[in-house]
Structure 1
């Protein structure tokens, strides 16, 4: 009966069950299925030295350059980077850099991965609302991404790649985010429910490979990835484009590619 219920759930949201690591009968409940891993090799990671890869499966909401500390949420609607990150120093470093906002629908794969190799140097958990994050909401709620609960992961990119922020934004029904690099992070737990921003910096940064797992949404939501200025040239995206985790979304800038080669 359980797998029949999951089959109905999959049909309702148009989930391609053939991509799942296990057959439906092997999943214990909806959350177990929703946070499923994919079959090995289904999302190959671009191995090129200069490639930057998509952190998630989903649909592009916006992309561009952080301008005067602001990112575009939708036409005519922007939000402040320092509010998003809850980290003034990181926001200063990332101001002027490239960003990509991707929406994960209920049908998508819900694990989020590192767009570049390097080390996780810290994180911030910002409590907040759980507004929906679909296409209508990004227009209707002008402060959506800085109002909703979120987990900010800071990655120091390998060699010349600089700082990268990967933001997992919660949404209605998704106040539960877990991190692969730190088992103590579970945003639905009582300690994380307190109305207080939590910060952590690691004395020993935690290595992560390009395409390595960062965390999991326990339902659909949004990822925002931001790079240091001059480090990454993103591919051209328009709202509505589809992305797959591991696919190339950009390249390290020409000067930085030379630096990568020189530092071997």
Structure 2
């Protein structure tokens, strides 16, 4: 086991997850000179990262750990499938992709969670996705952590829902009911050619922050905050970058009934890359 893996496991065991998440967000944004370079090299070794897949291969140019963590992948390695209705917004592993049944989404091994709870509790937001489809993609620490638009769309609303920071790895999704409705998350609702489309960025243990291109770093708060957007400048093309995570987490996509089928490659446990087909035509 590497030094980084050991430190993370000990820290998780001894420190409350929200406290550890707060501390990690502070430490990983601080320039620490040689220690930052040491952490980056250990991280690369631990997660077997091929630095040649990224735009900036000069490790010494990353002044903080988070600068390295949100490194940009080479665009030629992530072609956008123009034939698909919508594409995967991230690199990751499919946790689940299925129908939304009776207002519930399957998490893992028969555990499910509420659509209404996921979106913050407002029935007017959730009812449009009833009997629709969802895709849940888990990002491990090794993955590329920038989030891109799955299809052309205009941002109409965001809902920030404060919550816990439980880990979202295989172990937790297999036994913790309502995991994705307990963790902090940012719901982003877009108007698209297939109707309303929701992309939910779910925070987790050690996620230093959730960031968007329109609002910057999401400020953690005690109450649910809704924001509406009317300006056309919040219109994005398929493949445009819209945000990033600092450390591993999950993205959940929702679309309404009869607006497209889940692509056959979106099966639980399968790795996917940004730009691969996620929704195909009916």
State the TM-score, normalizing by the size of structure 2: 0.83
**What is the root-mean-square deviation in Å for CA atoms of aligned residues?**
1.4
| Residues 1:175 and 1:152: Cα distance change in structure 2 (over 3 Å) | farther
Q: Identify the residue that residue 66 of structure 2 maps to in structure 1.
A: 31
**Over residues 23-74 of structure 1, what are the superposed CA-to-partner deviations in whole Å (9 max), with x where a residue is unaligned?**
22221121111111112322111122x5310011000111101111110001
Pairing partner for 2:220 from 163, 186, 193: 193
Q: Distance in 1 between matches of 2:242 and 2:281?
A: 21
**Over residues 192-233 of structure 1, what are the superposed CA-to-partner deviations in whole Å (9 max), with x where a residue is unaligned?**
332100101112251110111121101110010010110011
**Over residues 125-162 of structure 1, what are the superposed CA-to-partner deviations in whole Å (9 max), with x where a residue is unaligned?**
0000000000010022111100000011111113xx11
Q: Helix, strand or coil: the match of 1:193?
A: coil
1:106-117 alignment, distance < 5 Å: 106-117=141-152
Q: Identify the residue that residue 176 of structure 1 maps to in structure 2.
A: 209
Q: Distance in 1 between matches of 2:66 and 2:195?
A: 35
Q: Identify the residue that residue 99 of structure 2 maps to in structure 1.
A: 65
User: How many equivalent pairs are there?
Assistant: 244
Pairing partner for 1:235 from 263, 268, 279: 263
1:1-264 alignment, distance < 5 Å: 1=34, 2-23=36-57, 24-48=59-83, 50-86=84-120, 87-158=122-193, 161-183=194-216, 186-187=217-218, 192-205=219-232, 206-236=234-264, 237-253=266-282
Q: Flag as ranges the 4+ runs of structure 1 deviating above 2 A.
A: 1-5
The 8 Å contact of residues 58 and 242 in structure 1, kept in 2 or not, is answered as yes
Deviation at 1:114, TM superposition (A): 1.2
Q: Distance in 1 between matches of 2:119 and 2:277?
A: 24
Q: Distance in 2 between matches of 1:246 and 1:25?
A: 29
Structure 1: runs of 5+ lacking an equivalent: 254-264
Structure 2: runs of 5+ lacking an equivalent: 1-33
Q: Helix, strand or coil: the match of 2:252?
A: strand
The 8 Å contact of residues 149 and 175 in structure 1, kept in 2 or not, is answered as no
Q: Distance in 2 between matches of 1:96 and 1:79?
A: 14
Q: Distance in 2 between matches of 1:61 and 1:5?
A: 29
Q: Distance in 2 between matches of 1:41 and 1:88?
A: 41
Deviation at 1:98, TM superposition (A): 1.3
The 8 Å contact of residues 130 and 175 in structure 1, kept in 2 or not, is answered as no
Q: Distance in 1 between matches of 2:43 and 2:144?
A: 15
Q: Helix, strand or coil: the match of 2:141?
A: coil
